Amino acid sequence: MKPAPAAESLESLRECVRAAFDAGTPLAIHGGNTKRFLGAASRGTAFALDMRAHSGIVHYDPAELVLTARCGTRLEDIEAVLAERGQMLACEPPHFGANATFGGMVAAGLSGPRRPWVGAVRDFVLGCRVIDGEGHAMRFGGEVIKNVAGYDVSRLMTGSFGCLALLTEVSMKVLPKPSHQYTLCLDIDVGDALRRLSGWAREPLPITGACHDGSALMVRLEGGRGSVDAGAARLGGRQVDDAFWTELREHRLPFFAGSLPLWRLSLPPATAPLDLSGEVLVDWGGAQHWLRTAADAATVRHAAAQAGGSAIVYRGHDTAADAPFQPLSEPLLALHQRLKQRFDPRGLFNPGRLYPAL
């Protein structure tokens, strides 16, 4: 696969798409390639389109709580600019490498430990600019928090793995960083942890992280000093380093090392570990389980579906033989195909990255 010519401007990106359309040559769209391990490789692509040439913060006004940036901007750079003004991307996106981009974050739609309490990437997306599969540049949503004009194309783009349109610019709601943070550790088993979390969820506690690593429950409290101190007194346990949450988010905990395939199970809140072989790390207060297992894909997927959720494989899996994402039902897949057809009629964008039929 050859690199497509570096496209800095929106117009040069349009030319690139129009050329691909005329020649019928699919594009493998990428940013920093930090999440390439996730999903299948794009199929039959002639050119790799590196979005990093299209970069820069377009607009940021802290009092509006909105930041707009071109998709090739490095996530680290955006987070640094926000931090200068005491703000953050509250969905706490994993980077998985220094080169992670803003567009890659939106296309992958992955959220960090704060997600159940504060929101996912899609919850903060307000607007986007895209180029469709025929080279039309378009804008949906905007830079305001309340906006219901037209269908919500911006949130549809989030987590679409670049399979619908070429995402060129995104506006996101940002939030102030909490003034205080405190992490505590309770040496209790996972069943006890989930029972307690379920009760705490009905109390106004400033919890923004809850993870059981197999031996202990880690809880993060964030807010003003008063609420964090009161929460710490209420929950007990011993204080540990807040860096735990970054290590968890970036998969740098010892749990994530090793050769067994790594699965991510998305499950209803407070779900206990499923009856599957291997080791489990329970995050998101029970709504996200990380599983290292030798069990076959069908068994894992079936167990996740029975529990009301789904499973995707992150690492250590033969994605050529078996698509990494949980398969869709026939009518849902058909709907996905009809949408893909409308956005990208010649199938130019990341074919097969998400599902073989897209």
Partner 1 sequence: MNMLYDERLDGPLPTTDKDRLLADLRRNVPGLRILHTPEELGPYECDGMSSYRTLPLLVVVPDTVAQVQAVMRHCHEHHVPVVPRGAGTGLSGGAMPVEKGILLSLARFKHILDVDPHTCTARVQPGVRNLAVTEAAAAYGLYYAPDPSSQIACSIGGNIAENAGGVHCLKYGLTVHNVLRVDIVTADGSLLTLGSEALDSPGFDLLALFIGSEGLLGIVVEATVKLLPQPETARVLMASFDDVRKAARAVGDIIGAGMIPAGLEMMDNLAIRAAEDFVHVGYPVDAAAILLCELDGVEADVAVQCTRARELLEAAGATEIRLARDDDERKRFWAGRKNAFPAVGRMSPDYYCMDGTIPKRALAQVLTEIAELSRQSGLKVANVFHAGDGNMHPLILFDANEPGALERAEALGGKILELCVAVGGTITGEHGVGREKINQMCVQFGADELSLLHGVKAAFDPQGLLNPGKNIPTLARCAEFGRMHVHAGQLPHPDLERF
Looking only at residues 231 through 270 of this chain, which bind partner 1 when binding is defined by CB under 8 A?
A: 231, 266-270
Q: Is 43 a binder of partner 1 (CB under 8 A)? A: no
Provide, rounded to whole angstroms, the least separation between the CB of residue 239 and partner 1. Answer: 19
Residue 47 DSSP code: E
Provide, rounded to whole angstroms, the least separation between the CB of residue 124 and partner 1. Answer: 10
Among 19, 185, 188, 201, contact with partner 1 (rule: CB under 8 A): 201
Among 148, 233, 257, 321, contact with partner 1 (rule: CB under 8 A): 148
Q: Which is nearer to partner 1, 290 or 355 (CB)?
A: 355
Q: What sign does the CA torsion over 230, 231, 235, 238 have?
A: negative
Provide, rounded to whole angstroms, the least separation between the CB of residue 123 and partner 1. Answer: 5
Alpha carbons within 13 A on the beta-carbon side of 130: 27
Q: Is 74 a binder of partner 1 (CB under 8 A)? A: no
8 A C-beta contact, residue 235 and residue 227:
no
Provide, rounded to whole angstroms, the least separation between the CB of residue 97 and partner 1. Answer: 22
Q: What is the C-alpha separation between 334 and 332, in angstroms, rounded?
A: 5
Provide, rounded to whole angstroms, the least separation between the CB of residue 351 and partner 1. Answer: 15
| Residue the block writes with tokens 């102030």 | 176
Q: Which is nearer to partner 1, 46 or 123 (CB)?
A: 123
* Residue 281 neighbours by CB under 8 Å, 6+ apart: 211, 212, 213, 214, 253, 255, 289, 290
Q: Is 209 a binder of partner 1 (CB under 8 A)? A: no
Among 6, 98, 179, 214, contact with partner 1 (rule: CB under 8 A): 179
Among 229, 247, 279, 322, contact with partner 1 (rule: CB under 8 A): 229
Give the tokens for residue 54: 């299209």
* Residue 123 neighbours by CB under 8 Å, 6+ apart: 91
Part in contact with partner 1 (CB under 8 A); list of ranges 25-33, 47-55, 183-191, 201-209: 201-209
Q: Which of residues 293-352 bind partner 1 (CB under 8 A)?
A: 308-310, 312, 325-328, 331-333, 335-336, 338-339, 341-343
Q: What is the C-alpha separation between 87 and 74, in angstroms, rounded?
A: 17
Q: What is the C-alpha separation between 105 and 204, in angstroms, rounded?
A: 30
Q: Is 277 a binder of partner 1 (CB under 8 A)? A: no
8 A C-beta contact, residue 260 and residue 292:
yes
Q: What is the C-alpha separation between 79 and 82, in angstroms, rounded?
A: 5
How many CB atoms sit inside 10 A of residue 260's CB? Answer: 15
Q: Is 35 a binder of partner 1 (CB under 8 A)? A: no
Q: Strand, coil or helix: what is 251? A: coil
Provide, rounded to whole angstroms, the least separation between the CB of residue 303 and partner 1. Answer: 13
Part in contact with partner 1 (CB under 8 A); list of ranges 34-42, 57-65, 184-192, 252-260: 57-65
Q: Which is nearer to partner 1, 122 or 317 (CB)?
A: 122
Among 176, 214, 258, 356, contact with partner 1 (rule: CB under 8 A): 176
Among 7, 29, 38, 66, contact with partner 1 (rule: CB under 8 A): 66
Q: Strand, coil or helix: what is 35? A: coil
Report the amino acid identity of residue 125: V
Q: How many residues bind partner 1 (CB under 8 A)?
A: 84
* Residue 341 neighbours by CB under 8 Å, 6+ apart: none
Q: Is 15 a binder of partner 1 (CB under 8 A)? A: no
8 A C-beta contact, residue 75 and residue 93:
yes
Residues facing residue 129 across a β-bridge: 139, 169
Q: Which is nearer to partner 1, 1 or 144 (CB)?
A: 144
Q: Which of residues 95-124 bind partner 1 (CB under 8 A)?
A: 109, 115-116, 119-120, 122-123
Question: Phi and psi of 133, rounded to 5°?
Answer: -70, -5
How many CB atoms sit inside 10 A of residue 335's CB? Answer: 12
Among 11, 22, 64, 296, contact with partner 1 (rule: CB under 8 A): 64
Provide, rounded to whole angstroms, the least separation between the CB of residue 1 and partner 1. Answer: 25
